């Protein structure tokens, strides 16, 4: 609602045959660009085009190996384009990729765009936000009970594709897939405006196309300060469920595994201990120098083990997973509280339409509201959420088609 350009991009590549699914699975991606001029738009487009293309190109590699290589090479290209043109300097983008495979759901992630899974009445965030807020929380450096949202803005991210010649990639999974699972990929235009419990409830109540539209509409009705990109994928058949297939585990060489901060920390510790040994030795504190020298050797050995240890291939799947996700699990059954919030939103939208003198066919909206009220009174909150969301999307679609009225009206006042 407030951006003149769209810096989000996305990709959808669904396997066209069972054989193709067995080899490479279904791929979904969301990218949220950043940078002045058209830099963010270019960065996200390069990511959404490059990662899927390279992933399917490297068929000789296992899916996780191909995914890591595709992201690294795409990062190189975005970085090269950013350094070659001053207008694109330091451009970057988030990148969240979900691949549904016979072995499970594999996620690769950089930035704060998110991947969720809805199962039954619980929505789980499968990715870790690479934002300053999340990093501070995870570090344990904040006092107990501290409100990090009051200290650090939400949109300060710590990782992205493009600004640097190398990138640290999080790989998560493969997580088991069950019939009925719903996966949501989204940019922070959605997650910054709609709470996890609301996301899960709406996903559980509506078919994927309607749920995606309702979520975008709701984010826009709550201010729409950023672009909102949403992909919803639902597992509808047993052929995707991991418990119904004897797929072999995924192979991943040690060199392809994303490295965490532990190796760098070991080298830093080795340097600090070495300097301490040198200084204490020069001033004659030989015992302290000896202790520091021993610690230096231990840190060096640990770093070398991190770098060169376990070079044999590893296998993931069948219970062995990469990453530490899910990072949150939120109950999201449709509730009376959510029904009331959606009803209030729709009332405000109805009033805005009347004040703006829009030409609206009120009959479909009135029918949605009538059914929602009846369902809520009967305790069927899922049906009430469904009807109110349909009413909201209907109204937003009607408003998009309006022509401005009066000399003070402008196209920027029309929701889009």
Q: Assign residue 55 the CATH number of its domain.
A: 3.60.40.10
CA dihedral 302, 305, 308, 314 (to 10 degrees): -130
- The answer to whether the CB of 263 falls within 8 A of the CB of 307 is yes
Q: Are 243 and 280 contained in the same domain?
A: no
Note the pLDDT of residue 308: 46
Q: Are 247 and 276 contained in the same domain?
A: no
Which of 245, 184, 173, 251 minimizes the C-alpha distance to 22? 245
Question: How far is the CA of 237 from the CAs of 106, 241, 287, in angstroms?
Answer: 18, 7, 68
Note the pLDDT of residue 147: 72
Q: Are 222 and 124 contained in the same domain?
A: yes
| Structural domain that includes position 279 | 262-312
Note the pLDDT of residue 273: 76
d(CA 54, CA 37): 27
Residue 222 in domain: yes
- The answer to whether the CB of 157 falls within 8 A of the CB of 112 is yes
Q: Are 105 and 23 contained in the same domain?
A: yes
Note the pLDDT of residue 406: 46
d(CA 348, CA 341): 11
d(CA 139, CA 59): 38
Question: How far is the CA of 221 from the CAs of 190, 210, 341, 370, in angstroms?
Answer: 11, 16, 12, 22
pLDDT per residue of the chain (416 residues) written in tens, 0 to 9: 777 889 999 999 999 999 999 999 999 999 999 987 689 999 999 999 999 999 999 999 999 999 999 999 999 999 999 999 998 999 999 999 999 999 999 999 999 999 999 999 999 999 999 998 898 888 877 666 677 666 777 778 999 999 999 999 999 999 999 999 999 999 999 999 999 999 999 999 999 999 999 999 999 999 988 999 999 999 999 989 987 557 888 988 765 555 544 455 666 777 787 788 788 878 788 888 788 788 888 767 766 655 544 334 678 877 788 999 999 999 999 999 999 999 999 999 999 999 988 899 999 999 999 999 999 999 999 999 999 999 999 999 998 888 655 444 333 333 33
Q: Are 347 and 407 contained in the same domain?
A: yes
Q: Are 174 and 134 contained in the same domain?
A: yes
Q: Are 294 and 192 contained in the same domain?
A: no
Tokens 């959510």 label which residue? 338
CA 237 to the chain's CA centroid: 25
Q: Are 223 and 361 contained in the same domain?
A: no
d(CA 275, CA 282): 11
- The answer to whether the CB of 392 falls within 8 A of the CB of 214 is yes
Residue 2 in domain: no
């Amino acid at each position: 609602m407030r951006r003149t350009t769209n810096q989000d991009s996305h990709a959808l590549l669904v396997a066209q045959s069972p054989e193709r699914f067995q080899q490479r699975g279904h791929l979904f991606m969301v990218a949220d660009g950043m940078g002045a001029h058209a830099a963010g738009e270019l960065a996200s487009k390069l990511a959404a085009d490059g990662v899927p293309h390279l992933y399917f190109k490297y068929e000789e590699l296992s899916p996780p190996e191909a995914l890591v290589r595709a992201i690294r090479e795409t990062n190189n290209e975005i970085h090269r384009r950013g350094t070659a043109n001053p207008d694109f300097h330091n451009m970057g983008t988030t990148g969240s990729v979900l691949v549904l495979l016979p072995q499970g759901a594999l996620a690769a992630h950089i930035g704060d765009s998110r991947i969720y899974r809805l199962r039954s009445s619980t929505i789980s965030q499968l990715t870790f936000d690479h934002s300053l807020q999340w990093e501070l929380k995870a570090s344990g450096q904040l006092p107990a009970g501290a409100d990090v949202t009051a200290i650090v803005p939400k949109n300060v991210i710590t990782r992205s594709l493009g600004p640097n010649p190398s990138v640290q990639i999080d790989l998560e999974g493969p997580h088991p897939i069950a019939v009925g699972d719903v996966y949501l990929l989204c940019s922070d235009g959605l997650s910054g405006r709609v709470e996890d419990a609301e996301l899960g409830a709406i996903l559980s109540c509506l078919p994927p196309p309607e749920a995606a539209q309702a979520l975008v509409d709701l984010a826009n009705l709550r201010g729409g300060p950023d672009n909102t990109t949403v992909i919803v994928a639902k597992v509808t058949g047993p052929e995707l469920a991991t418990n119904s297939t004897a797929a072999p585990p995924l192979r991943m060489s040690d060199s392809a595994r994303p490295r965490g901060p532990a190796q760098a920390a070991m080298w830093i510790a080795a340097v600090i201990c070495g300097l301490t040994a040198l200084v204490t030795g020069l001033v004659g504190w030989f015992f302290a120098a000896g202790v520091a020298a021993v610690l230096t050797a231990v840190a060096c050995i640990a770093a070398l083990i991190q770098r060169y240890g376990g070079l044999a291939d590893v296998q993931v799947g069948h219970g062995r997973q990469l990453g530490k996700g899910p990072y949150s699990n939120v109950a999201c059954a449709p509730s009376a509280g959510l029904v009331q919030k959606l009803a209030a939103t729709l009332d405000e939208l109805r009033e805005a339409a009347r004040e703006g003198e829009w030409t609206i066919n009120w009959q479909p909206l009135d029918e949605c509201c009538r059914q929602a009220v009846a369902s809520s009174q009967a305790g069927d909150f899922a049906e009430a959420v469904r009807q109110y969301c349909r009413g909201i999307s209907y109204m937003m679609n009607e408003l998009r088609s309006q022509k401005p009225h009066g000399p003070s009206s402008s196209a920027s006042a029309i929701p889009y």
